[in-house]
């Protein structure tokens, strides 16, 4: 259940995506049996992990 903009484990951030990127993410998320938010979070974590290795 939503608890507002902040809770103990997360914070709501609004972000704009180009329409074509949203469509591509939605398609890929569906293939991976996940949702938009989970896919974006996983992708961000992957990018952060790669940047730490450099």
Domain spans of the chain, in order of start: 20-53
Task: Report the helix count and the strand count for the chain, using DSSP H and E.
Answer: 2, 0
| Residues of the chain by 3-state class (helix, strand, coil), percent to 5 | 55, 5, 40
Q: Are the C-beta atoms of residues 44 and 38 closer than 8 Å to each other? A: no
pLDDT given for residue 6 in this prediction: 81
Angle of CA points 21, 22, 25, to nearest 5° = 85
CA-CA distance, 8 to 14, in Å (whole number)?
18
For the segment 2-21, the average pLDDT, to the nearest whole number, is: 87
The radius of gyration of the chain from alpha carbons, rounded to an integer in Å, stands at: 13
Residue 8 banded pLDDT, cuts 50, 70, 90:
confident
pLDDT given for residue 3 in this prediction: 63
At residue 18, does pLDDT exceed 80? yes
pTM: 0.80
For the segment 37-51, the average pLDDT, to the nearest whole number, is: 97
């Amino acid at each position: 259940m939503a608890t507002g903009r902040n809770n103990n484990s997360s914070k709501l951030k609004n972000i704009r995506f180009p329409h074509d990127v949203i469509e591509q993410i939605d398609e890929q998320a569906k293939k991976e049996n996940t949702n938009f938010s989970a896919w974006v979070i996983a992708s961000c974590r992957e990018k952060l992990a790669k940047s730490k290795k450099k």
